[in-house]
Amino acid sequence: MADASGSAPKVTRDLEDFSGDYETLDLLGSGRFGVVHKLKHKSNGTIFAGKFCSCSRPSQRKDLELEIELMAELRFDRLVHLEEAFLDTKEAVLVMELITGGELFDRVIDDNFELTENVAVKCVRQICAGVGFMHSKSILHLDLKPENIMCSRPDSIDNLKIVDFGLARRYCPNKQLKVMFGTPEFVAPEVVNFDPLGPGTDMWSVGVVTYVLLSGLSPFMGDDELETLSNVTGCEWDFEDECFNEISANAKDFVEKLLCPQEKQRPLCEQCLEHPWMNTDSGSDDTVAPPKNLSVAVQHLKKFVSRRKWARSINAVRALGRLQIGSKQQAKGVSAFSSKKE
């Protein structure tokens, strides 16, 4: 793992100081949380990303203060870092590292990029390293999905960053943590069932992301959110699509161990990094990730990415509300669930 050294962000400052230090430049994105602009530090010219958001409601301010508190502890090269934060009674600006490479999945579906199983191994290693550092700080991300895995540069996958800690929570083994939010395709069964969470909750999401990266298919995607959640709690997935004919047995074993229904039985990041699939580079036997181009997976991935972008364009930060699930779904172990954001 890379060195996690580096000073913590400055103590949160008053918003009235922001304009004296930073120049607000181009708009980078927007959502229900607010907007993200490119920022330029006036004294040294360093470029950052600035997340502008409202915190006028007590619940908003509480969530924002928690996000800032947790990000202050997450100084690691696989995690986007917070430089400093400015707040007043109604608004806030989080000054963060600017990531210019775009989303990982956009990179791997580019016509000039060759996706192989070796490439997938390289990506998942970095994801596990980032998640592992979070867990070492007793922090769960709780919203791991392709959109939250970014490339530092547009021409490389060698320095991936996990972003968006708006749903992250601190956990303690001796104290139950339960939430009812997340993204249905990537959320773990214990979230849907409102059961206690742990590090394995994030590892389930790593398993789903790995499955999608290898195949371009979403293992639990249903015709609607209700069916998707039912598939999650029923653990209904398989390797039956023909694209898995090109995938090694070690890769399938890696995914299968992560998509275990019991949270405490899923391997942690340290165990994942020791898995045979994580320690393969090239060769001919099945202990080694095949170097062949996963062309079928790429075609599936293009459709997956297009669908996700379409959904986000309708409502970038989507509140599903609480789903009341009937007796048929309850018999499968599904409970009421809401997605705080898409």
* 281: confidence class by pLDDT, cuts 50, 70, 90: low
Q: What is the pLDDT of residue 232?
A: 96
Distance CA 108, CA 115 (A): 6
Distance CA 36, CA 122 (A): 29
Distance CA 55, CA 68 (A): 13
| SS3 of the chain: helix, strand, coil, percent, to 5 | 40, 15, 45
Q: Which two tokens stand for residue 36?
A: 């993200």
Domain coordinates in residue numbering, the chain: 17-97, 104-330
Active site members: 143
Q: What is the pLDDT of residue 293?
A: 81
Task: Classify domain 17-97 at the CATH topology level.
Answer: Phosphorylase Kinase; domain 1 (3.30.200)
Residue 13 β-bridge partners: 86
Q: The pTM is what? A: 0.86
Distance CA 55, CA 9 (A): 20
Distance CA 166, CA 174 (A): 24
> What number of other Cβ atoms are within 10 A of residue 176's Cβ?
11
> What number of other Cβ atoms are within 10 A of residue 105's Cβ?
24
Residues 82-132: tens digit of each pLDDT = 999 999 989 999 999 999 999 999 999 999 899 999 999 999 999 999 999
Under CATH, to which class is 104-330 assigned? mainly alpha
Residue 285 has pLDDT above 50, yes or no: no
* 9: confidence class by pLDDT, cuts 50, 70, 90: low
Residues 71-85: tens digit of each pLDDT = 999 999 999 999 999
Q: What is the mean pLDDT of the chain?
A: 86
Percent of the chain's residues with pLDDT above 90: 70
